[in-house]
Amino acid sequence: MRLLFIGDIVGKPGRRMIQYHLPKIRQKYNIDVVVANYENVSHGFGMSQKNYQEMRNSGIDIFTGGNHSFDKKEIIELMQTEPILRPINMYEETAGSGVFVDEKHKLAVFSAMGMFGMPIFENPFRVLLKEVKKYQDYNIFIDFHAETTAEKRALFLLLKDHIAALVGTHTHIGTDDLMIERAGYLSDIGLSGCYDNVIGMNEKEAIQRFLSGFSKKFDINDKCKKIFQAVVFDIEHNSCYDAFKLKAYDFQEEFISMRARKL
């Protein structure tokens, strides 16, 4: 099975990149399943029902979340019937689910959130170690939405014998440590959206916050230089045998790729 994962899709610029590039990529690279993180889809904060439908129509099959999962409360209704996840280590009383099972491809997708610098919920290491063992007959993919690379790497090393792949999101900055150690791993895939500012948001508000400690709510300027970033995993029998990154700037047709290093 060939799975493609897209990290934080930030606002309208990110949605435009998905709408333009994803249909072509699905066909060119024979993608079976597309998973994407939705938590910044609607102007950087959560995902509206309208934008969900846009992204679904563009070719995304399963949606993973993070600390902004519930910024748009209207998404709660869709979580009951659509493949939209929130972090599995949120409390049991929280709406939605942290795992989605695709029986056709024998795939189990988990959404989880880190501890450092994040809202306080259950320990994701303990939760995932217990939960992934219930799905060993499936190919397991995890989106770990976390602040630090060390936290992401440690979780991967804990789980690598029980999963097919784990990718980090949240920092919006892509890393170059794509590798295969039985399972596929990448610390952070990086955003899809504007890349000539501060993590997809206008730099004016970010600079003001660093200078003064105060700022207006972060905004997104559609007139920016845009990037599309994704990672592809070839997985079978709950392990990974090949992986590569895809990157496109603005609306160019050629994709820059980086092959995984096998350890």
What is the distance between the alpha carbons of residues 145 and 150, in angstroms, rounded to a whole number?
Answer: 13
Count the Cβ atoms, other than its own, within 10 Å of residue 158.
16
pLDDT in tens, 28-68: 999 999 999 999 999 889 999 999 999 999 999 999 999 99
pLDDT in tens, 66-94: 999 999 999 999 999 999 999 999 998 99
pTM as predicted: 0.94
What is the distance between the alpha carbons of residues 134 and 248, in angstroms, rounded to a whole number?
Answer: 37
pLDDT the model gives residue 213 = 84
Contact indicator for 187, 154 with CB cutoff of 8 Å: no
Average pLDDT for 142-157: 97
Q: What domains are defined for the chain? A: 2-262 (3.60.21.10)
Q: Which residues are catalytic?
A: 68
pLDDT the model gives residue 45 = 92
Give yes or no for residue 223 having a pLDDT over 90: no
Residue-averaged pLDDT of the chain: 94
Average pLDDT for 101-119: 96
Contact indicator for 195, 168 with CB cutoff of 8 Å: no
Query: What are the Cα distances from residue 116, in Å, to 120, 147, 155?
Result: 9, 6, 13
Give yes or no for residue 245 having a pLDDT over 80: yes
pLDDT in tens, 174-206: 999 999 999 999 999 999 999 999 887 788 888
DSSP secondary structure string, 213-259?
Answer: S--PPP---SSS-EEEEEEEEEEETTEEEEEEEEEEETT-S--EEEE
Q: Is 76 helix (H, G, I), strand (E, B) or coil?
A: helix
What is the distance between the alpha carbons of residues 67 and 106, in angstroms, rounded to a whole number?
Answer: 28
Closest by CA to 188, choosing from 140, 235, 245, 119, is: 245
**Residue 92 contacts by C-beta under 8 Å, 6 or more apart in sequence?**
none
Contact indicator for 37, 65 with CB cutoff of 8 Å: yes
